[in-house]
């Protein structure tokens, strides 16, 4: 974990006091600093997954011997 970067964001960008910074949970800090990407955890439904599988099929990878 890059504490120097996190503290720079907390103190410099968010202007938190040290007490406020250290009292925050990681999730609170991520939300406050904009490090959370909305929708990144969305799971595709079956139709979307099948469309992706059709568009990008798995390819058999040959090993070194063959």
Tokens of 26: 């990681």
The 8 Å CB, 24+ separation contacts for 50-56 are none
Residues with Cβ within 8 Å of residue 13, at least 6 apart in sequence: 33
pLDDT at 66 over 60: no
Structural domain total, the chain: 1
| Domain presence at residue 42 | no
pLDDT at 52 over 80: yes
Residues with Cβ within 8 Å of residue 29, at least 6 apart in sequence: 6, 10, 21, 35
2-51, pLDDT tens digit by residue?
Answer: 899 999 999 999 999 999 999 999 989 998 998 766 665 667 789 988 99
State the residue range of the domain holding 8. Answer: 1-35
Whole-model pTM: value is 0.52
17-29, pLDDT tens digit by residue?
Answer: 999 999 999 989 9
């Amino acid at each position: 974990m890059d504490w120097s970067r996190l503290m720079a964001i907390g103190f410099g960008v968010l202007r938190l006091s040290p007490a406020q910074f250290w009292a925050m949970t990681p999730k609170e800090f991520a939300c406050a600093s904009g490090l959370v990407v909305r929708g990144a955890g969305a799971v595709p439904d079956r139709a979307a997954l099948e469309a992706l599988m059709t568009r990008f099929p798995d390819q058999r990878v040959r090993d070194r011997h063959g």
